[in-house]
Structure formats: C-alpha cells, structure tokens
Amino acid sequence: MEKRVVFRGRWLPVALIAPQIAIILVFFYWPAIQALVQSVFIQDAFGGRMEFVGLENFEVLFADELYLNSFRITAIFSVAVAAIGLVTSLALAYFADRAIRGALAFRTMLIIPYAVAPAIVGVLWMFLFNPTLGIVAHWLRGFGIDWNHVLDGDQAMILVIIAAVWKQISYNFIFFLAGLQSIPKSLIEAAALDGAGAWRTFRSVIFPLLSPTTFFLLVINVVYAFFDTFAIIDAATEGGPAKATEILVYKVFYDGFKALDIGSSAAQSVVLMAIVLVLTFVQFRFIERRVQY
Amino acid sequence: MLDRDPVMKVVTYLVLCAGVAIIALPVWVTFVASTQTLEQVLAAPMSLVPGDRFLANYAEVLASGAGNSGAPVARMLGNSLLMAMVIAVGKIVISLLSAFALIYFRFPLKKLAFWMVFVTLMLPVEVRIMPTYEVMSTLGLIDTYTGLTLPLIASATATFLFRQFFMTVPDEMAEAAKIDGAGPMRFFFHILVPLSRTNIAALFVILFVYGWNQYLWPLLVTTQESMYPVVIGIKRMISGGDAATEWQLVMATAMLAMLPPVAVVVLMQKWFVKGLVDPDK
C-alpha cells in the first residue's frame, strides 16, 4: 500500500531501505537458508565433510523416541502455561478493573514481571524451590510434600510452569484489562438491572465480549511457551532431570551446541519454523493487524 | 463501578492482594537474600527480614563479581546497557527509515523489498540459532558488540508499526510540505518524526526491555566474561553447583539485573501499555 502523495527520487528510497535489507540479508536470510540446507546434509562433528542425505535427518528425527518425548513435554508445558496463565491473569484483570482504591498501585505491581529477564525469573524460582535452602521447598515440607525438583521430573515440570506463568501474567493482564475497559459500562449496568449477579454477568456478558482478546492471547501464549521460555528452563532446570523439562527449543540448542549433531539440530529448526509459520498464519488469519513481540 | 455488594468488594481486594503477593514473593526473597551473609542465606529456612550486608554485598559484586565468574558486575551492567540501547535505538532508526521509504516513495523492486521485510516477522532468532552462530563466526563477530546486537535488530516488527502509523498520517501533510518546497528528508525530520514521538517512546520501552533481557543469543556469541551481559553473568555464577554458589552475591546481582528494565517499564508505564495494546499501531 502507498500514499496518494509520494515523493520523487530514485536512489533516495533505496538508500533509506538499504540498512534494513542489508541486516536482514546477512543475519536473517543467510542463516535461515543455511538451516534449510543443513537439514538435508549430514556433517561430521568437526565441521568437515558434508554429505547429502535428503530427508534422512527428518526420518531419523521422527523415529527418535527422545524427540517425540520432547514434543510431548512441549505440549504439556505449553498447554499448562497458556491455561494457567490465561485464567490467572483474567481473574486479576477482572478484579483490578473493579477496584477503585489503589488501582494504579496494583496495576504497577502486576506489570513488573514483564520487565524481568526470563533467565532471572528462572534463577528466582529455582532459588525459592531449592531443595536444601529454598524457602518454598521448606514450607512445602511443612505440608508433608517432599520437594526435590533436582531429582523428580514432575516437580521440575511444575517449577518451570510456575516460573513461565509468573513471567507471562503481566502481558496477559495488560491485554485483558484493556479489553475489559473497552466494554461499555451500560451493558454491565443493564445486566445488573436484569438482576444478574457478578458471576452471571461475567459469564454471559463480559467473557463473550473478551473472546477475541482471549483467542489472540492463546496464540501468543503458545508461541511464548514454545520459544521464549528457553532461558527460564536453562536457568531453572537445564532441561533436566533426565530430560523431563527438555522442550523443543531446548533440544535444538542442546543437540546443536552440546551434542554437536548439526544435521539433526538443523532438521529440528526446520520443524520449529514450520510450527511458527502455522501459528503465525493462524494469528494473521484470525486476528488481523496485531503485531506480536 | 455500580457494584455495591460488600462481599464482592472484599473478594476483589483479597484476589488482588493474593496476586500482588505472588508477584512480590520472589522479588522480596531475592532482595532479602542480597542483604544477608552466606551463612544466613544457607540457614534453611532463611529469615525474611533483611540483613545488614546490603552495602557490602552490592559493593562486592559491582567491583569484583562473584564466585567462579570473576568479571565485575559493573562491567556486565555496562554491557547490558550498551546492548539494550543499541538494539532499541538501532531498530527504531532503521525501521523509521525503511517504513518511510515503503510508504512515501515508488521505487524499483519495492514489492520484493516489502516481502523480504515481512517474512522476518515470522521467525524468532531461537529457531535459526545454530546457522546464525555459524554466520557470526564466519564473519569473525564472536565476542564483539556488533555480533551481540545486529542479529537482534534483524527483524521487522518495528518497521510494520511505523508503516501502519504512517498510513494514518493525512496526505495533506506531505502535499503541503511539497508545495512549500520541502524535500522528502525535510518532511521526514520536521513532520513525520515529531508526529511519531509517542510511538517511538512506546517502542523504546519494549525494545529496551527486549534487548536487556536477551539470553540465548549472548550465551552463544560471548565467550569472555568481560563481554557478558549481566543476565548471562548471573547464570554463570550459579553453574558451580549449590556448594560453590555465593547466593547472597548472586541475589544482589539479580536485583541489579532487574532494576533498569523494571524502572523503564514502571516509569514509562503509559507509553509501554500504549505500545502493547494500541490497535492503531
């Protein structure tokens, strides 16, 4: 699309857009194409000879029990993060919208996790739940729960889900609050006049009006759980114990940089790209004009 | 609101207080741990009242770091600040220029340029991490500030925000500028950029936080402690295992790492929220 009024000039616009094109060519297209190429080659670990193998990397990948397990872990993790995160933030936004006193203070507190680095979030929660010195682990022991996420895979999963939800609450909260504030007050008053209680009003009036926001956030939360939680997991559990928290992005990193299996890592990248493309398509198809960070 | 139900009122404040408590708990425990001695932190359960080592612990990490990661945290904070600023300012400048070109000019291969930029919206750096690293090492950019920042500038979210904003600028503005004999760059600097300042402020907050909080990319592209941003430094401090970790210093570093992005978001709350939810973006 362009303006009715445009400026003349042949080289000026090219010069203006050149920095962006140069950067994306070198740092985006070159590596992205290389990922595609590498996914159909086998390379030895010392960066030496390459051998064309077609789709063999993908065949090996989908026959690999560990990879399929990583898919299962990613699914559990992202469903839990999205579901718990959305419900919690919706509740907080609903009550923050009702609060008269101290509304700004509550809001300010609730947006803080957005600004905290995922890796720091991982460190914070890992410290709270540390089996020997963590204060929450100590409280849990008081309730008769023997907390040790360093040994127990399920507990490690719970830990990274809590940390990931804590980090994402702010983002969801801001969108839900904006959504709630755009609902005309007259609708809610009308429901009250009809004798609907708070829960009934929420269920039949407010929630349906929030459903576009909820859907948008659902996609964003899934993308977040897939890609932006790498640092949380690396800082809190390093994918362990025994790969219990090794989500797909973590496995790409681990296989590529620790195990030096470059072909497999590249094939995994390509699978992830396909997943992002589908999610992005869904997002653009159903929610136009929202750009995601 | 019209709701006068006292029960609802109590529930409202109970839920909000519970929410704030959950948000605040890890931050408070971190702060408390950062003011205690190592023995106090290790005495499970640690006290939830701050100790008296506040100045001593912070001075120690700033000047000489902690444990097996010897770099001073002051240096790491400097790296983080530089990284966040270069990413935020770089992305805003490059995006303003290219959005201007895309909206206000006709030029050969414009469609191609548009699509090339558009596609970058879809793939986060996490996905092409391995080959991006190889490109960096081919270009000799490992352990350089260029390598730390440029790949993170290479996506086009900001370009699209500015593009959408420019579309809402009335045509009469450019027309008037042309009639007055102003060239395109004059129009850009004197009209378009000032009009965009709220969008620029909003984007700055979001990009500053994005840059400051980067983890995976700097983890790969930095190998020397003197190049670590603070978010990486902190992870290296705890990698020696429980016994070797000086938790009070790690927690002081965590507080220092949180402070700048939290301050930017809290102080610029209005623009930050606008940047995230404004439908006009």
The minimum CA-CA distance between A214 and chain B, rounded to whole Å, is: 13
pLDDT on residue A239: 85
Work out the pLDDT band at B91, boundaries 50, 70, 90. Answer: very high
pLDDT on residue B242: 60
Q: Residue A164 pLDDT more than 50?
A: yes
Are B192 and B102 spatial neighbours (Cβ–Cβ below 8 Å)?
A: no
DSSP-assigned states of every residue in A226-243: IIITHHHHHHHTTT-STT
Residue of A nearest to B111 (CA): A1
Separation of alpha carbons B89 and B210, rounded Å:
12
Phi, psi angles (nearest 5°) of residue A41? -125, 160
B235:A119 CB<8 A: yes
**pLDDT tens-digit readout, B153-184:** 877 888 988 988 898 888 888 888 888 888 88
Cβ-based neighbours of B196, under 8 Å, separated by 6 or more: B96, B162, B165
Interface check for A119 against chain B (CB to CB < 8 A): the answer is yes
Which residues in chain A have their CB less than 8 angstroms from residue B116's CB? 21, 24, 29
pLDDT on residue A292: 40
B124:A227 CB<8 A: yes
- Hey, which residues does A43 pair with through a beta bridge? A50
Which residues in chain B have their CB less than 8 angstroms from residue A213's CB? none
The minimum CA-CA distance between B128 and chain A, rounded to whole Å, is: 6
A16:B97 CB<8 A: yes
More confident residue, A286 or A89: A89
Which residues in chain B have their CB less than 8 angstroms from residue A178's CB? 273, 277
Reported pTM: 0.89
3 state DSSP class of B13: helix
Q: Hey, of B42, B129, B144, which one would you mutate to test binding to chain A, going by the most A CBs within 10 A of its CB? A: B129
Whole-angstrom CA distances from B278 to A103, A112, B274 are 21, 20, 5
Residue of A nearest to B2 (CA): A189
The minimum CA-CA distance between A189 and chain B, rounded to whole Å, is: 7
**pLDDT tens-digit readout, B118-147:** 888 776 666 677 788 888 889 998 999 999
Eight-state DSSP code of residue B47: P
For the residues B62-73, what does the mean pLDDT come to? 76
Are A237 and B235 spatial neighbours (Cβ–Cβ below 8 Å)?
A: no
Please state which of the ranges A124-133, A259-268, B22-31, B166-175 shows the lowest mean pLDDT. Answer: A259-268
Chain B contacts in chain A segment 42-81 (CB below 8 A): none
Of B105, B135, B219, the CB nearest to A26: B135
Three-state secondary structure along A250-292?
HHHHHHHHHCCCHHHHHHHHHHHHHHHHHHHHHHHHHCCCCCC
Which residues in chain A have their CB less than 8 angstroms from residue B122's CB? 276-277, 280
Burial class (CB in 10 A: 0-12, 13-18, 19+), B30: buried
Of B1, B94, B262, the CB nearest to A19: B94
Eight-state DSSP code of residue B140: T
Residue of A nearest to B24 (CA): A109
The pair of structure tokens assigned to B101 is 């070109």
The minimum CA-CA distance between B151 and chain A, rounded to whole Å, is: 5
Which residues in chain A have their CB less than 8 angstroms from residue B216's CB? 230-231, 234, 253
Separation of alpha carbons B199 and B92, rounded Å:
10
- The percent of residues in chain A predicted with pLDDT above 90, rounded, is 35
Which residues in chain A have their CB less than 8 angstroms from residue B273's CB? 111, 174, 178
A30-69 CB burial, b ≥16 within 10 A, e <16: bbbebbbebbbbbbeeeeeeeeeeeeebbebbeeeeebee
Q: Residue A225 pLDDT more than 60?
A: yes
Are B209 and B38 spatial neighbours (Cβ–Cβ below 8 Å)?
A: no
- C-alpha torsion sign, points B83, B86, B88, B90: negative
Please state which of the ranges A50-59, A244-253, A284-293 shows the lowest mean pLDDT. Answer: A284-293
Residue at token pair 């970790």: B245
Whole-angstrom CA distances from A261 to A213, A266, A272, B279 are 41, 9, 17, 44
Q: Hey, of B14, B105, B199, B242, which one would you mutate to test binding to chain A, going by the most A CBs within 10 A of its CB? A: B105
Separation of alpha carbons B141 and A163, rounded Å:
33
Cβ-based neighbours of B239, under 8 Å, separated by 6 or more: B68
pLDDT on residue A2: 61
Residue at token pair 């995601």: A292
Which residues in chain B have their CB less than 8 angstroms from residue A130's CB? 242
For the residues A47-57, what does the mean pLDDT come to? 74
Work out the pLDDT band at A111, boundaries 50, 70, 90. Answer: very high
The pair of structure tokens assigned to B165 is 């904003």
Work out the pLDDT band at B1, boundaries 50, 70, 90. Answer: very low
Separation of alpha carbons A154 and A134, rounded Å:
18
B23:A249 CB<8 A: no
pLDDT on residue A289: 47
The minimum CA-CA distance between B185 and chain A, rounded to whole Å, is: 9
Amino acid B128 reads R
Interface check for A198 against chain B (CB to CB < 8 A): the answer is yes
Interface check for A291 against chain B (CB to CB < 8 A): the answer is yes
E strands, A69-179, in order? none
Work out the pLDDT band at A47, boundaries 50, 70, 90. Answer: low
Are B73 and B62 spatial neighbours (Cβ–Cβ below 8 Å)?
A: yes
Burial class (CB in 10 A: 0-12, 13-18, 19+), A238: middle
Question: Number of CB pairs < 8 Å for A and B?
Answer: 319
**pLDDT tens-digit readout, B247-260:** 889 999 999 999 99
A273:B123 CB<8 A: yes
3 state DSSP class of A50: strand
Separation of alpha carbons B120 and B114, rounded Å:
10
Q: Residue B3 pLDDT more than 70?
A: no
**pLDDT tens-digit readout, A227-269:** 889 999 999 998 878 888 999 889 888 888 887 777 788 888 8
SS3 content of chain B, % helix, strand, coil (to 5): 75, 0, 25
> Which residue from A101, A93, A115 is spatially nearest to B267, judged by alpha carbons?
A115
C-beta neighbour count of A176 within 10 angstroms: 23
Cβ-based neighbours of B60, under 8 Å, separated by 6 or more: B66, B249, B252
